[in-house]
Amino acid sequence: MIQNENIPMESTTTENNKSVPENYLRQISEANRDIIGELNLATGQINWHSNFVNNFLQFPKGASFECLDDFIRHLSPESLPRFKKLWKNFLKISVFDTMLSFLTTDGIQVWCRAFVLKPQDSDSNIDWILVIRPRNDAMIDFVNKNQQSVKTLAAGLAHEFNNGLTPIRGFIELAIDQLDKDLEITQDLMMALDRVEYLAQLVEQIQQYGQQSLIHTQEVDISKTLPSIVNVSHKMLGLPNNFIKLEMTVPDNLPALMLDSEAFRRVVDEVIKNASKAMPKGGILTVEAFTHQVGEFEEFIVVNVKDTGVGISTENLTDIYDPFFTTHGRANSKGMGLSMVKGIVEQHGGWIQVSSIEGVGTEVRLNFPVLDIINPEARVGEESGGDEEELNVIPAADVGRMLIADDEEYIRQLINKVFKPEGWVVDEAVDYLEVTQLIQANPHHYELILLDLTMPGPKIEDVIEIIRNVGSEAKIIIITGAAKDDRIEAMLIPGKVAYVPKPFSPKNLLMFIDKMTQL
């Protein structure tokens, strides 16, 4: 963290000259092998206190590197977008600390850590101290490989967990649907189903945290949506009236945002739940929304959530974004917490700020950029949202023939149990080769085909192309435990090829297919 950097800035000059002596910063620079410069934000000038700036980047003598524009011009193409985004945030919140790479005159990529510090001496006439800390290639490769390994591991585990949860969720729902709701066993199964749905949400949070889950934005009227989310979240706390008093201020004329509405709901709901846990003896929950102008052109909507709870200690405040971190005890931990919130907000191009005082309360500020509104085409390949109060199965369609292709036997069994009572004839395939053989033998045999994303045989893209080339008019649904990504998105065709994530609810799958087959 920036605040932990310890570069003393005491001046040894006269009272009339408060600047830090050049040789003093140079000594620090050479001792730490850091490249240190004084940064003037008004002019963009950088006064370097290092002898090896040019040597570090292998620039010829006399090469210009004395202003912020030069600094930006020498960034590698992959680091430039990150720098621009983080620098905008720095101008708002005075925090900048990231890994960047520069291109030398020979086109070699040189990695370093870049961060900005405020001089400790409040009388100093220096705006900021810019520090460049070179990193060796071995360390960068190690960090990158480990980060990618963690992401790959998380994605793989999420896929396997979702595959395993699908038959558990499905068979529990089918059992509940056949039992009297007043029976004790029915209540037990409902409790088990609740835990399965919690685990499914947790897997989704892990994917979101690692930004392995693709968000789908649409125009959202915050003035109407936010109060609805807040009121439902407050009610779902299940607390006595006025135990936690809600005070909400949301203007009617806020600009619309491009948001993934479900992800936004999870963010607000998580922050409100955290606030309620911080007020075990009751208190006031304040939710505000307002616009905030940054610079001449950029506008943000701020969602501010404040509680009058116990607050967070300075020691714990540095850990709040760690996955599964909680100050409420492990028994009250319900998921990824603020790490999930942070991941979703950043995916929308925003950022989160948290401030807290022990014994006073905590304030969470969510900043979302106001973007140009583009009305996206409605996507058919989304699982129907919303909570269902009843478990009654709705017939999917008239009698038809479908093909379920999945290498997991339990999932094929579940599909059979769900669709055969609704009048469907169900055929099975265990790999893509069997799928292509069945389709090529009878191109018009199926009205519906369910394809697992990853199975032995050809790639799913090739299988879908074969299905279309032989003239089949079957609707195709991709079912998978993996999060929707660019690869899946590229295969979707409204009304023809859709996506349903595992673990799916049988009743929701039936309703989704009913709508799709009627298009």
CATH number at residue 325: 3.30.565.10
Could you tell me if 113 and 145 lie in one domain? no
| Domain contains 354 | yes
User: What distance in Å separates the CA atoms of residue 268 and residue 340, rounded to the nearest whole number?
Assistant: 11
Could you tell me if 478 and 492 lie in one domain? yes
Could you tell me if 190 and 237 lie in one domain? no
| Domain contains 63 | yes
State which residues form the domain around 153. 141-209
Could you tell me if 249 and 352 lie in one domain? yes
Could you tell me if 232 and 269 lie in one domain? yes
Identify the CATH number of the domain in which residue 86 sits. Answer: 3.30.450.20
User: What distance in Å separates the CA atoms of residue 442 and residue 469, rounded to the nearest whole number?
Assistant: 13
Helical ranges in 210-244 per DSSP H: 222-236
Helix, strand, coil shares, percent, the chain, to 5: 40, 20, 40
Domain count, the chain: 4
| Domain contains 391 | no
Torsion 408-463-154-208 (CA) sign? negative
Could you tell me if 114 and 154 lie in one domain? no
What tens-digit pLDDT sequence spans the chain (519 residues)?
333 343 333 333 333 333 444 454 555 555 456 677 788 887 888 877 765 455 555 555 445 567 788 778 878 887 888 788 888 878 877 778 777 887 776 677 777 778 887 765 555 566 787 877 766 555 445 555 555 666 666 677 777 888 888 889 889 988 988 888 888 898 888 888 888 877 777 777 666 655 545 567 788 999 999 999 999 888 888 777 679 999 999 999 899 898 888 889 889 988 998 899 899 999 999 999 999 876 555 688 999 999 999 998 877 777 777 665 565 544 444 445 787 788 788 878 888 888 888 899 999 999 998 865 444 333 333 333 344 444 344 444 445 899 999 988 989 999 999 998 888 999 999 999 999 999 999 999 999 999 999 888 888 999 999 999 999 999 999 998 887 777 888 899 988 999 998 888 888 888 888 888 776
Could you tell me if 149 and 129 lie in one domain? no
Could you tell me if 153 and 230 lie in one domain? no
| Domain contains 455 | yes
Could you tell me if 109 and 165 lie in one domain? no
Could you tell me if 359 and 253 lie in one domain? yes
| Domain contains 394 | no
Closest to 46 in 3D by CA, of 16, 18, 25: 25
Could you tell me if 463 and 338 lie in one domain? no
| Domain contains 390 | no
Could you tell me if 126 and 145 lie in one domain? no
C-alpha Rg value of the chain to the nearest Å: 28
| Domain contains 395 | no
| Domain contains 388 | no
Identify the CATH number of the domain in which residue 462 sits. Answer: 3.40.50.2300
